[in-house]
Amino acid sequence: MQLAPNIPIPLDTIRYAYAELGHLVNSDLCTQLGDAACLGECKRECLNLLQLVQQHTRNIPPEEYWIIEEGIQLMVLSLDNASQTSNDVPDMPPVAASQRVYTGQPGHPCVDIDPDLLRMAVNLEGGPTSLAAVFNCAPMTIQHRALELRIVEPGPPVYVEYEHANGTITRIYRSSTRAVSDIDDPELDQIIASILEAFPLFGH
């Protein structure tokens, strides 16, 4: 399969493909346990993305490339294990991803999240919102736990205050939006075509 390696694929496109692949893998692991044919197709999607990422290493920061590569390899390993696992009812209940801990203090109970599961889930899913159902808590709680455990870095402040000589304070807000891409329409069409050729199931 020709993936047009000479056409640079934007980093955001690779990030989106990685996040979508994580959703696909998690869905198949939950619903297709023991189905070697279906899980094998999902594994091919993983290997296709891995090949695409390896062809565009210059577009990806080294640390992020390592996370994506390790994440895809973990997906492949999980799919291999799931294809060999029986779909019989387990003898023991599954390990809870989170649990409520009552501290005796006023307010809601504390949500205790397994650090290893959270670390892996953040890398696969890419955001607290999509993990709320997995850990049975609010996205803000997931973000707080990830910051406490130093799994993620805090973002820049929303605004910065500057005090002038006369005592007045000016509040300058920082923009969180990325710069608009300068890719023209024909080049964008080529990039999208290569992504759809490699991952025909995305978007369906």
What would the mean pLDDT of 123-144 be, rounded to a whole number? 71
CA–CA dist 67, 52 (Å, integer): 15
Q: What is the pLDDT of residues 152-181, one digit of tens each?
A: 777 777 778 888 888 888 888 766 555 556
Q: What is the pLDDT of residues 77-109, one digit of tens each?
A: 999 988 887 665 555 665 566 677 766 777 666
Q: Are 75 and 83 in contact (CB under 8 A)?
A: no
Lowest mean pLDDT among 18-22, 149-153, 162-166, 179-183: 179-183
pLDDT computed for residue 45 by the predictor: 92
- The residue type found at 157 is P
Quote the mean pLDDT of the chain: 77
pLDDT computed for residue 1 by the predictor: 38
Q: How many residues does the chain have?
A: 204
Indicate whether this model's pTM tops 0.75.
Answer: no
Lowest mean pLDDT among 90-94, 144-148, 152-156, 195-199: 90-94
Q: Is 13 exposed, middle or buried (0-12, 13-18, 19+ CB in 10 A)?
A: buried
CA–CA dist 198, 143 (Å, integer): 33
pLDDT band at 148 (very low <50, low <70, confident <90, very high): confident
Of residues 10, 30, 3, 23, the one with CA closest to residue 121: 23
CA–CA dist 118, 123 (Å, integer): 9
The DSSP H or E segment spanning 193 is helix 185-198
pLDDT band at 3 (very low <50, low <70, confident <90, very high): very low
Contacts 24+ apart (CB under 8 A), 143-148: 145/111, 145/113, 145/118, 146/118, 146/122
Buried b (16+ CB within 10 A) or exposed e, 29-55: beebbeeeebbeebbebbebbbebbee
